[in-house]
Structure 1
């Protein structure tokens, strides 16, 4: 018997016609059966370089090693007053929250903060666009991670019509100048874009829709976003091109396999900061098939 999730969480999701890989497809997210064309390509979508997920045992062992290094990093930050700020961006269902959870899991929450702001209030809409984010920037010894950030104005806002074209273009001009200020202040600043393939996103949305535990994550924005894949891609590419700078570079992480992407993000942060006691051998080397800077990613498209 079909598990009818229609309107679950207050979301009405009718079957939609979308273009995937140059072909028109019908996708009914309320059908409990995942279409064969999604199941077949959910890992390899978008040119993902691996055809198998990382083994759980290897992931767990490596993750624990990296988490121990994060604890060292935090101790060093407390001793030196260093500040670290991470911006985690990506399409819906890219794995931002899961990556942040594993990065922060064993860090002291008193000085390792996760910032996930709701939509702006009426008062905040009247402020300078960046203003509400600044209050959450790190003080001495703090590690702050933004689960989405001011880069909403580079992606979801222009795609969904939540800002004007003029506001979007102004943001692309202003963001590099804004980030130069915070880097010049001495904050160690990281920007990650978690990149997933289209079938990967559809499979993750489908899982959410049919889960008694996570269906609340599926939103009207997700429904609309499924039909705007190409528009999101165009805005992503423009964002990476216009806001990647030598002082605030974008790192693009191929995230179809959540295990590899989570390790790649944590490893990049650890290898970028010269904290006391850093064990580079234990951290390991970056996988260029999984993580690259924005220019290299754009050249690969």
Structure 2
């Protein structure tokens, strides 16, 4: 039972980090209904999706970076294909954009892996990396007035993003605590995948759009890739870092808000979302396919 609780503890820490990358920095500005309770609920939902992806990793034995990227893809499919239905919209663009470019590449790759790895670098290199990430997200946020003419001010944006960064810091500290992959009984590992599959089938009955077939197809390919990645490298065991090494994470919202403010003052709203999608969609799709089909070890 202890290993099951360890799995969910690890999943919640990942949820806290993922919400910051996937929700806080993407939406940039707080929604009208966003409060402490709503944010906590998002962390739980993202944590359950993380638990499902981790269960798949443990069931298939996927390892190394190859297993990491495929787990990130599965996380994206769960959020966008089960929790919400965004990946069925704007076909076929959303099949790639929401689960692979957004969640796998940016949230798992940048906000989780790159940020965590930067903690082990020199302080200057870490700060430069986090500042660059913040500037990139600030550039991305500059398109929101084109989508939503009524937005909160930059003060609300700063409060929202700095609060999210604080939650993410707690998530990274928890990740150090729960860092090793637990090994619960196999029957326990089937709980979340069965729950996710049941929810998907219920949604399909209630809304039987043909596009929903793409979720099991793409997740099936991902699981097949995980099986091919069995034993593909050692488990990641990063050494815990001092608390202060996570504080530079606040540079991300600082540079994000500053960059957005500068763009608004100099150029106004710009279609930066198109630029981000143009760059990340082919990279995300290519990375996913590479990890599935490449033989032997893969990055």
Pairwise same-fold verdict (TM > 0.5): no
Looking at secondary structure, tell me which structure has more strand per residue. Answer: 1
TM-score (norm: length of structure 2): 0.31
TM-score (norm: length of structure 1): 0.31
- Greater Cα radius of gyration, structure 1 or 2: 1
Q: Which has the higher contact order (CA 8 A, sep 6+)?
A: 2
Looking at secondary structure, tell me which structure has more helix per residue. Answer: 2
